[in-house]
């Protein structure tokens, strides 16, 4: 059994080759079609143009660029991600994936336990309180039961019924930049679930670094 923390990987930004200006130039070229002002495009005009459309609330122009992100998170949080309908998803399937070699679980932020591989019910790693122990015991038993069911001839799609929300899943999410702004507004809020904030806050910080003219604003 492997215990890990959640993470993300930006797999691609449409129109981006390492410099945010390329994304902004794409948005400017699309947006200036509305005004037939393509003759005003210069090497650096895209930044002021995107600032202008943001100020005027013309956020639909941001939909011409998109971003793909791969999340590694627990199964429960993946369901929250999929609530955002203006996106495309590809997710690790518990029906077709066979975890006979051992299961990976996500450590929630309220559980104090070290990342690593665990092979026994009573590990040598100290746990600070009973709540941590109860969580560990439950996922250890879930793995034991899953592997036992496989050994008795059940298919992965049948044995998966005993797996908990803490199960690690990988999910790839693609949506346009306007929708990412909406996702950050909801999922970085202090009212959002702690585990999805654990993913989205650092992702939003990274996007503010990469494309500040679009993402450098206060959602809270």
Sequence length of the chain is 220
d(CA 105, CA 166): 5
Query: Distance from first CA to last CA of the chain, Å, rounded?
Result: 37
8 A C-beta contact, residue 156 and residue 98:
yes
Alpha-carbon gap, residue 127 to 123, rounded angstroms? 9
Q: State whether residue 218 is helix, strand or coil.
A: coil
Residue 168: beta bridge partners?
Answer: 74
Q: What distance in Å separates the CA atoms of residue 129 and residue 126, rounded to the nearest whole number?
A: 9
Q: Which of 75, 160, 181, 187 is catalytic?
A: 187
CA distance 103 to 156: 12
Question: DSSP string spanning 167-199?
Answer: BEEEEEEEEEHHHHHHHHHHHSSTTS-HHHHHH
Place of tokens 């609330």: 57
Q: Is 83 a catalytic residue?
A: no
Cα 106 from chain centroid (whole Å) = 13
Catalytic residues: 187
């Amino acid at each position: 059994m492997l215990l890990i923390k959640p993470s993300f990987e930006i797999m691609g930004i449409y129109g981006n080759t390492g410099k945010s200006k390329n994304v902004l130039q794409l948005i400017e070229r699309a947006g200036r079609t509305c005004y037939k002002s393509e003759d005003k495009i210069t090497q650096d005009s895209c930044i002021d143009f995107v600032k202008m459309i943001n100020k005027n609330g013309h956020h639909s122009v941001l939909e011409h660029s998109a971003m793909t992100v791969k999340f590694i998170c627990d199964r429960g949080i993946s369901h929250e991600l999929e609530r955002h309908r203006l996106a495309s998803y590809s997710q690790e399937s518990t029906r077709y994936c066979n975890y006979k070699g051992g299961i990976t679980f996500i450590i929630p932020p309220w559980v104090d336990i070290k990342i690593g591989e665990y092979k026994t019910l009573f590990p040598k790693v100290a746990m600070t309180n009973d709540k941590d122990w109860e969580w560990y015991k439950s996922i250890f038993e879930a793995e034991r039961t899953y592997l036992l069911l496989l050994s008795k001839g059940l298919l992965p799609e049948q044995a998966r019924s005993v797996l908990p929300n803490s199960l690690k899943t990988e999910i790839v999410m693609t949506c346009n930049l306007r929708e990412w702004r909406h996702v950050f507004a909801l999922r970085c809020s202090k009212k959002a679930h702690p585990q999805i904030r654990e993913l989205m806050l650092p992702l939003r910080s990274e996007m503010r670094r990469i494309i500040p003219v679009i993402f450098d604003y206060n959602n809270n």
